[in-house]
Structure 1
């Protein structure tokens, strides 16, 4: 059976950020750490080797596939910073209209640097993602 590789673990978030090579990405990661922590009220946890997640939820799809994932999170990757926000959320698109410079995939929003986006809209995206996922996947 398939086993999810990206699991919550006890690796150090600060140590991970300190190992980000690019100084601007490292600085942005610390700022994002503050924004996500303040906005969610959850402590930062490492998920896998490169995702900093906040909170968690258990999902189960109609196919029977299930697992745990962070409610929201980010990863300061080499190319871009990945923001993990709720994917199939109609309100996300409306908020992204005022977000700034970004590209988006299914579940991720990608930014080059924090200065390219509106921090207030980021906070709204985080709040909206947490509320959407908590409503969609209520705790057992």
Structure 2
């Protein structure tokens, strides 16, 4: 079954995040993503906080909707999802500070160790790319 928007309370979810550094960073990301997107947070599934949405359609014909900006406070690190792929942000990522990446995921263990201005610009560019109405690829295809 595909992940969908739920009626969960994103602030209550963030309050339950552990360890404490994830909770602190999640509150920071709530404000950063509100500012960038102009949207209020909503739960996507049971463990992802999303802002806005975009529609995708793959070459296979599979399509759906997903958050245009989102994050998840995981135990090991906070995951910031970049649906346009991390490759689109290489130059900014080089200036961010300590992090690791996956195809469409940015993993940060402590937001106090990264440049929040750079992170905000990454989220802003990703948001713009996926909400322009023309984005439909998977992150790995970017």
Structure 2 residue aligned with 1:56, among 53, 56, 60?
53
The match for 1:129 among 126, 129, 132 is 126
SS in 2 for 1:49: coil
Q: Pick from 30, 34, 39: which aligns with 1:37?
A: 34
Q: 67, 86, 94: which one pairs with 2:64? A: 67
Q: Counterpart of 2:8?
A: 11
What are structure 1's unaligned runs of at least 5 residues? Answer: none
Number of equivalenced pairs: 135
SS of the aligned residue for 1:75 comes to: strand
Q: What is the SS of the residue equivalent to 1:56?
A: strand
Counterpart secondary structure, 2:96: coil
CA contact (8 A) 1:87 1:106 kept: no
TM-score by length of 2: 0.89
CA RMSD in angstroms comes to 1.5
After superposition, the Cα gap between the structure-2 partners of 1:74 and 1:123, relative to the gap in structure 1 and judged at 3 Å, is same
